[in-house]
Amino acid sequence: MQGIAQQAGTWGIVLLAHGSRDARWREPIEAVARRVAERAPATLVRCAYLELSQPDLRSAMADMVAAGAVGVRVVPLFLGMGKHLREDLPRLLDDLRARHPHVPLELASAIGEEPEVLDLLARIALKS
């Protein structure tokens, strides 16, 4: 993203998704990031992936901090969150907090925990 250094002082948002060997898998995740950037042009936004796709969360976080983010919010774009993610992700965040002790790091609810998302998916399922 050009001009990112000018956005210093803002919070950053990392859209965290699973990842896949298939580059096309990332398209909807990147589309969400574009929409975030359109809605809030001053916000730093990055995608990150747990496996198989790049960047990983550690790289995305370092990138945000280098760009001047004063805090980072991780939004898990996961409908279901398994034990792996529920237990491993908090450990990964602890590691990132140790690496960047002066940058607050928040973990948002997974999208599958958002009633608005569940309602919309039900409406979509009923579209014919």
- Site residues (vs a second copy, CB under 8 A): 11, 13, 15, 17-18, 20-22, 24-29, 31-32, 35-36, 38-40, 43, 45, 73, 75, 77, 79-84, 86, 108, 111-114, 116-128
CB 69 within 8 A of CB 11: yes
Asked whether the CA dihedral 76, 19, 35, 65 is positive or negative, the reply is positive
CB 75 within 8 A of CB 47: no
- Minimum CB distance to a second copy smaller for 38 or for 98: 38
Q: Rg (Cα) of the chain, in Å, rounded?
A: 15
Min dist. Cβ of residue 106 to a second copy (A): 9
Min dist. Cβ of residue 109 to a second copy (A): 8
- Minimum CB distance to a second copy smaller for 4 or for 37: 37
- Minimum CB distance to a second copy smaller for 9 or for 98: 9
Residue 76 CA to residue 17 CA, distance in Å, equals 6
Min dist. Cβ of residue 73 to a second copy (A): 7
Min dist. Cβ of residue 79 to a second copy (A): 5
- Minimum CB distance to a second copy smaller for 16 or for 65: 16
Residue 125 CA to residue 85 CA, distance in Å, equals 26
CB 80 within 8 A of CB 112: yes
